Structure formats: C-alpha cells, structure tokens
Amino acid sequence: MAPIRIAIVGLGKIARDQHLPALGRSADYDLVAIASRNAAADEIPSFATLDELLGSGIALDAVSLCTPPQGRHAIARAAIAAGLHVMLEKPPGASVSEVLDLADAAAAKGVSLFASWHTRAAPAIEPARSLLAGRTIESVSIVWREDVRRWHPGQDWIWEPAGMGVFDPGINALSAATRILPRALFLEAAELSFPENRAAPIAAQLRLSDAARTPISADFDWRETGPQSWDIHVATKEGPVLLSKGGAALAVDGETVIDGGEIEVEYPNLYAHFADLVRGGRSDVDLAPLRLVADAFMLGRRRSVESFSE
C-alpha cells in the first residue's frame, strides 16, 4: 500500500517534538513538505504558506495542521477545498462553530477530517475506559497542574482570545475524562482566574456532573512549580481508580496495573488512526472536550489575579 503523502503546516514546538518524530517512524506516511511562516525542516521542501505549497506542484494527499487555533479554520478550509485529508492538532479550532463547519466541508468534499486528542492515545486510556464501564462511579477529581514557563515558553498566542490559556493543557484532561467515563459530562459552574495583563485564564476550577449526578471536579493551574500533576482520581463503589501521568499509568485499588512511563506512543497512535481514517474514507470529529471548554467560558465566573510574565 502506497504511503500517504503528507505535509505539516505550522512547524512549531509541538510539530518538532511530536509530529516529526512520529511521521519519521511511520511506514504509513511520506512527509513531502512543510508550510510554516517562520521555520523550515532540513531536506524537506518548505514553504511560507499552504497556498504556496499548493501552487508548487508537489503531489500531496493530506495535511497535518499544527498552527495555533487562531486562523486555522481558513487554512483547513483551503486544504479541504484542494481535496486534501486534514488532521487537526488540539484544540481543533478557535470555536465549536468553526470545527463543525470543517466537518461539513470535509463530508461534502469526500475527504477525511480528524480532530485529534493526543491524551486519548495514551496507553492507559482504553484500559481505564473498559474498567470503569463495569464499576459504580461515586465521584471524580481531576487535577491537572503544570508550569507554563516549562511547557509553553514564549508562546504568546496561548494568552490571546482563542488561545485558551490554562485550557490548552486542561482540554487534555477533559479529552481523557470524556473518553474514560461512561456517561456524557455537563458543566455546572466554573471559576476562571485571569492575570491582570492577559486575555486568557492561568487557572480554572470546574464543577461538573453527568446524567447520574456524579460529582466531578477539575483543578487546572499553570502556576505549579513543584511536581507536575496530570491525574484523574475516580472513586468507585468497588475501590479507587487512578489515571495518572497524563494517561500513561493506571492504578486499580491501590495497585499499579499499567505504567507506560513516558507517553511517546501518543502521536504514533494518532497518526496510525489518521491513516486508517484516510484509507477507510471516514472522519473522526469528537468535540466533547471543546464544548466543555466553551461552556466554562460561557458559564464561568471571572476573577482577576496578579499579572503574569515569563
């Protein structure tokens, strides 16, 4: 089977750290080009924009969009119009409406659209989902706390409208929770902490529930300078379940059953799934995590906190 000829659009930190290595190890793809305003890759044809790439004559089947969400809708629309399959880095767009429009456009054009959630591809996610399907869940506590200076240095776009602030990592937690928990989640209330000099929150406290009125809390914070936390604690009638390390590890009743260590399998798994979608003529666009973030901005109370600078 011929490899899928793919280009990366937006060669930033996440593309260099995750997308390039994953594509380099995959037999499903041939990385034929890069389109990025401020970067290029050695020995790969590079262009400033997708339009320049499309006008170059390079044969192409798909694009992986790694640009910030602001402005991504127009780029994805152009790729779909050119008959290309499209993979979207998370968050898939600046708004729910934008991504729904892309899904409609992809369906009309007959190409695949994949709104990817890398945390869902971590090794303990599916085992946790299967386990919790057979347990009685009493409560859930999500703790996702990290140091923004360590993980997002110099990325000013994340502090702008549609950059989402602390929800950039927080949406990873929501993507995991909406996958492993057996019922749909609903936001009841939120408190969002905005630095005085920023347009996006640095911390958020969420209160959620599901159709069974299960109490679910989420604590997102970008000011954690100590041990980093990417954990989902699930209290069940049968005993505690802990998904930790961002979905790489699973403990059941206090005993570790999966310890995936680092989560380098996430992006290879995402690209394997995208290849299946392309070859099967299907799309995968689950917006549950993005809808919860949108609900938090709509329902949340805003409070001002001290200014933030790197």
CA distances from 216 to 122, 232, 248 (A): 22, 10, 21
Q: Is 109 labeled as catalytic in the residue annotation?
A: no
Angle between helices 167-180 and 288-299 (to 10 degrees): 120
Token pair of 219, please? 């604590």
3-class secondary structure, 234 = strand
Q: Is 100 left (phi over 0), alpha (psi -120 to 50) or beta?
A: alpha
H or E stretch covering 103 = helix 96-109
The angle formed by the CA atoms of residues 288, 292 and 175, to the nearest 5 degrees, is 50
Q: Which of 90, 109, 237, 245 is catalytic?
A: 90
CA of residue 41 relative to chain centroid, distance = 24
Token pair of 156, please? 């000013």
The angle formed by the CA atoms of residues 236, 132 and 186, to the nearest 5 degrees, is 85
Main-chain dihedrals φ then ψ at residue 102, nearest 5 degrees: -65, -40
* Residues known to be catalytic: 90
